[in-house]
Amino acid sequence: MAKFELKLPKMGESVAEATITNWLKNVGDTIAMDEAVLEIATDKVDSEVPSEVSGVLVEQLFGKDDVVKVGQTIAIIETEGGSVEAPKTAEVAAPIVAEVAKTVEVAKENVAPADFSGSDKFFSPLVKNIAKEEGVSVAELESISGSGKDGRVTKEDILNFVKNRTSQPVVAQTVTPVAQPITQPVQSTTTSAVPVSVNGGDEIVEMDRMRKLISGYMVASVQTSAHVQSFIEVDVTNIVKWRDKVKGAFEKREGEKLTFTPIMMEAVAKALKDFPGMNISVDGDYIIKKKNINLGMAAALPNGNLIVPVIKNADQLNLVGMAKAVNDLGNRAKAGKLKPDDTQGGTYTVTNVGTFGSVFGTPIINQPQVGILALGAIRKVPAVIETPEGDFIGIRQKMFLSHSYDHRVVDGALGGSFVKRVAEYLEAFDVNREY
């Protein structure tokens, strides 16, 4: 018999850890090769971890909701036959791991987890995560003097606090955990209580994991960026006529449906090349100018949640390539088959609010980007048409482009010029072009 270490696989260059959301196999269960053992979740994508061998699950090293680093061993599978992968270092470290686990369990019993929702101060999700990992209590977090806007605690503030705290004498470190059990349980009992319906007819439902993440991101974005919007109406009559003319042949030749989205994405990618000041991100007091144009494509999921897969190097794709990328990411998003790396690295985001009949909207910026474009519904409207012979009224296909941008680093001239350039590309669409 041999023991195989099932490790958390690499899930993309920008993904360093994942949360275990569910164990599909219990200790003692038989596992086939490539059979899913557990479900994990990164910031935006849920996926499964399959087994690389056949055997019996003999040990789960982490529990549900535990955060695991890429490359860490998460389970032990016993296999038949020769040795598979059972490093001696793991056997030597086993007693140490067991001893550490006991220490952690004792700590969990003696120290109540901090519940930051009861604080009147605003703390970003990143600051809260660092506080939880470092065992910083609510009272300690509130005592930190923030250097951010309006006195908010930044990443550097809490890291400096942790550094200074750990450099203090051992006696000072041991005082805090003793005092926490006295105050924390009372506070957590109050804040974690399930809301009670006043009239008894209301249904109270807890947010799922993804909705909680989205909620945190949206609030953090509004708190971070100074949102400003610019709107422009676009005549897309030529695009509508061209698509109606070629969509049948396009699907027959390419095996892909031709929607309006890749046409819009193509125009946005061109405009970003013209205005690289929109293809940036913000990190504190620094501006990062992005080399690649990676377009995020907001997509609604069947369960009502939202996800933003990314089209990498969108400016290098022709219309056929763009259509294939849009359809592939959209289909995999709806089927729940996106990989963690599919949602990473976006430099600018486009959301199609017109899918639901909205004429325009005021979308929230996808941090740390500085702009997001909402595509409104295409409508037939009466419009003034200018000709050498004079003006007349005609029926045209029009839509609104709604551009939200971060006024910290993007002023009205840049934000307005960018969305105007997108409109110019769309209105100048060549009805005789080949796809």
R_g over Cα of the chain: 27
Tell me how far apart the alpha carbons of residues 157 and 147 are, in angstroms, rounded to a whole number.
Answer: 7
Retrieve residue 85's tokens.
């992968």
Beta bridge partners of 5: 76
Q: Which residue has the tokens 């763009």?
A: 322
Q: With the CA atoms of 166, 169, 171 and 177 taken in that order, what torsion angle do they form, in degrees rounded to the nearest 10?
A: -10
Q: What is the C-alpha to C-alpha distance for residues 362 and 353, in angstroms, rounded to an integer?
A: 10
Distance (Å, rounded) from C-alpha 49 to C-alpha 21?
11
Helix (H, G, I), strand (E, B) or coil at 353: helix
d(CA 409, CA 39): 40
**Is 411 among the residues known to form the active site?**
yes
Neighbours of 203 (CB within 10 A): 5
Token readout for 164 is 């200074």
Structure-token pair, residue 196: 């009670």
What's the angle, vertex CA 323, arms to CA 320 and CA 327, rounded to 5? 145
Query: Catalytic: which of 29, 34, 65, 411?
Result: 411
Q: Please indicate whether residue 227 is annotated as part of the active site.
A: no
Count of C-beta atoms within a 10 Å radius of residue 280: 19
From the list 281, 305, 303, the residue with the least C-alpha distance to 291 is 281
Place of tokens 């600018």: 348
1, two tokens? 């018999």
What ranges in 293-368 are assigned the alpha helix state H? Answer: 319-334
Q: How far is CA 325 from CA 47, 295, 310, 348, 424, in A?
A: 20, 11, 9, 16, 24
Catalytic residue among 115, 274, 328, 407: 407
Q: How far apart are CA 218 and CA 224, in angstroms?
A: 10
**Identity of the amino acid at 71:** G
Beta strands in 13-104 (DSSP E): 17-23, 30-31, 36-41, 46-50, 55-60, 67-69, 73-79
Residues serving a catalytic function are 407, 411
